[in-house]
Amino acid sequence: MLRRPRDGGPSSYKLTFVTSTPVTFSALFDGWAWRPIPKCPGRYALRAGPVATPPEGLVPGASGGSEHVSVTAKDPVIVTPFEDGGLISYRKADGRFLHTLNTREGLERKLRQLGIR
């Protein structure tokens, strides 16, 4: 949504994201292109593959999630939970992120596999 700042002139606009609904699995699933992760029920990878967009760019209002190092993962893991699931993002060495969208069950199972829970 474009909004004109109160103190700005007629050509001064600012891009502002306005969200009034909480983040849910369905909202993220419908808002981005995902592909199922084979043999991992309840887990989906962002179809675009690794991207420059950080987790907070996919999850409105996220404050960066929590970062973890796991002996079972090649890259640092950023966990951004929400009401009915969560985003697990892997920060690649080149600064890009591989995002996975997870149902509540898929998130819990993967966090246990990673040794985070």
CA angle 36, 40, 45 (to 5 degrees): 35
Taking residues 74-83, what's their average pLDDT? 94
Q: State the pLDDT at residue 64.
A: 60
Q: What is the pLDDT of residues 12-55, one digit of tens each?
A: 333 334 455 678 999 999 999 999 999 999 999 999 999 999 99
Neighbour-count burial of 7, counting CB atoms closer than 10 A to its CB (0-12 exposed, 13-18 middle, 19+ buried)? exposed
- Rounded-to-integer distance, Cα 22 and Cα 70, Å: 29
What proportion of the chain, given as a percentage, has pLDDT over 90?
71
Q: State the pLDDT at residue 105.
A: 98
Taking residues 57-83, what's their average pLDDT? 89
The pair of structure tokens assigned to 109 is 């199972």
What proportion of the chain, given as a percentage, has pLDDT over 70?
80
| pTM for the predicted model, two decimal places | 0.80
pLDDT band at 61 (very low <50, low <70, confident <90, very high): confident
